[in-house]
């Protein structure tokens, strides 16, 4: 039997019946253990990493072995970077990290909707705080061993206990702490699990926040450090346009589209099971269409002036390919790994390389926005 078949048997027989957060903890422990063994990360990367030359991407001033990365939320405290790199992810976005350590929401707070290949989470930014997490990244840099190179982004959010009038200061504190250790910083204003956070997506609140974070990075001696903002799929189209225009105005490097959704329409999971999972952000396959719509709208608004990172419902090589052709330079996954197992990144990259070659492109970068470009040519 193949690895994917074995994983699916294990998932349906055992994993789906076990508390989701407990399984995540066990998986994280396994990744940390594998990454700590001499020579193992490098060997895993040779087997599982993106090796196809057409998948190499240069974006945000960095080199990526492939376009697929791990979305924020999986590695909140930067403990799994090397393990995730060994699985084949070209970048890892750690966090969301807040200025102050916090435990997050009460358990249970992570649920699978298996019929929809989806996850509901209301974790609530549980993390050790940006001072501790940034120091962990510094320690990793000091002990750097041979192994896969991976781009590391720091996703920062607001501490729950901090009042709205101090939100900017809270983000700035974390930005300063990550300025010397992150390859890029992503401002998360779109999680549904911190009260009032999504209100910061309104341009009136977002402009001073992003301006202050940019200024903090500049003052820390990193004026070239890429700054991105992560938005929700639940924004109205006019608000998506407004955020895009603001990103251009402020000189941001990119937008991550999208975070989880609070919507529950059209699910195959029985209504009582959905209700039992309760409030929180929904990720996975049900997010696919809306995330692609937001991405397409952003590309039409900003063209190639910003790096667009697609996340939400990315599970197959075809999903990733659709997002690249819609304008995404990079794609991210999380739920796809949960439902498809540790060989998923390698299958994604192999399948994506086949699609790039079949379409006649020399590289995945050449295909970015190609659907929109074709539409523009046809219209003219």
Taking the C-alpha atoms of residue 70 and residue 63, their distance in angstroms, rounded to an integer, is 16
Residue 65 token pair: 């072995």
Helices 40-48, 344-358: axis angle to 10 degrees equals 40
Residue with tokens 């060997």: 43
Q: Which of 127, 242, 256 is nearest to 185 (CA)?
A: 256
pLDDT per residue over 11-30, tens digit each?
Answer: 667 767 789 999 999 999 99
Look up the CATH number of the domain holding residue 68.
3.20.20.70
Q: How many domains does the chain have?
A: 1
CA distances from 56 to 51, 90, 349 (A): 9, 9, 11
Domain range for residue 79?
Answer: 3-372
Determine, yes or no, domain membership for 16: yes
pTM for the model stands at 0.95
Number of CB atoms found within 10 A of residue 221's CB:
10
* Whether the Cβ atoms of residue 132 and residue 101 lie closer than 8 Å to each other: yes
125 is in an annotated binding site: yes
340 is in an annotated binding site: no
Determine, yes or no, domain membership for 275: yes
Taking the C-alpha atoms of residue 225 and residue 209, their distance in angstroms, rounded to an integer, is 17
Residue 358 has pLDDT above 90, yes or no: yes
Determine, yes or no, domain membership for 320: yes
76 is in an annotated binding site: yes
Determine, yes or no, domain membership for 378: no
Q: Active-site positions? A: 191
196 is in an annotated binding site: no
Average pLDDT over residues 304-315: 98
155 is in an annotated binding site: yes
Q: What is the DSSP letter of 223?
A: T
124 is in an annotated binding site: yes
pLDDT per residue over 233-286, tens digit each?
Answer: 999 999 999 999 999 999 999 999 999 999 999 999 999 999 999 999 999 999
Taking the C-alpha atoms of residue 88 and residue 121, their distance in angstroms, rounded to an integer, is 25
């Amino acid at each position: 039997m193949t690895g994917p078949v074995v994983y699916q048997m294990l998932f349906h027989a055992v994993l789906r019946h076990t508390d989701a957060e407990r399984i995540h903890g066990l998986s994280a422990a396994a990744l940390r253990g594998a990454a700590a063994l001499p020579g193992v990360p490098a060997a895993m990367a040779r087997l599982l990493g993106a090796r196809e030359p057409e998948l190499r991407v240069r974006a945000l001033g960095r080199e990526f072995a492939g376009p697929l990365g791990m979305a924020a939320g999986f590695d909140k405290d930067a403990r799994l970077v090397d393990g995730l790199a060994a699985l084949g992810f070209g970048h890892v976005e750690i966090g969301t990290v807040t200025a102050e350590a916090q435990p997050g929401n009460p358990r249970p707070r992570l649920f699978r909707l298996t019929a929809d290949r989806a996850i509901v989470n209301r974790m609530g930014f549980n993390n050790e705080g940006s001072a501790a997490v940034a120091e962990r990244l510094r320690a990793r840099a000091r002990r750097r061993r041979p192994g896969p190179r991976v781009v590391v982004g720091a996703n920062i959010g607001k501490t729950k206990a901090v009042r709205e009038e101090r939100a900017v200061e809270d983000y700035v504190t974390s930005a300063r702490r990550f300025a010397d250790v992150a390859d890029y910083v992503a401002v998360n204003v779109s999680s549904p699990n911190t009260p009032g956070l999504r209100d910061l997506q309104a341009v009136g609140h977002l402009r001073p926040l992003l301006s202050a974070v940019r200024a903090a990075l500049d003052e820390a001696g990193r004026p070239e450090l890429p700054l991105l903002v992560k938005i929700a799929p639940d924004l109205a189209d006019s608000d998506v346009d407004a955020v895009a225009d603001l990103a251009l105005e402020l000189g941001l490097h990119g937008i991550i589209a999208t975070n989880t959704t609070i919507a529950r329409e059209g699910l195959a999971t029985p209504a009582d099971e959905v209700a039992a999972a309760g409030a929180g952000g929904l990720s996975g396959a049900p997010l696919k269409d809306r995330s692609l719509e937001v991405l397409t709208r952003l590309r039409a608004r900003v063209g190639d002036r910003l790096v667009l990172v697609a996340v939400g419902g990315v599970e197959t090589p075809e999903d990733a390919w659709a997002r690249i052709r819609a304008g995404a330079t990079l794609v991210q996954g999380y739920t796809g790994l949960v439902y498809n197992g540790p060989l998923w990144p390698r299958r994604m990259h192999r399948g994506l390389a086949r699609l790039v070659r079949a379409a006649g492109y020399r590289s995945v970068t050449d295909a970015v926005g190609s659907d929109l470009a074709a539409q523009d040519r046809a219209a003219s």
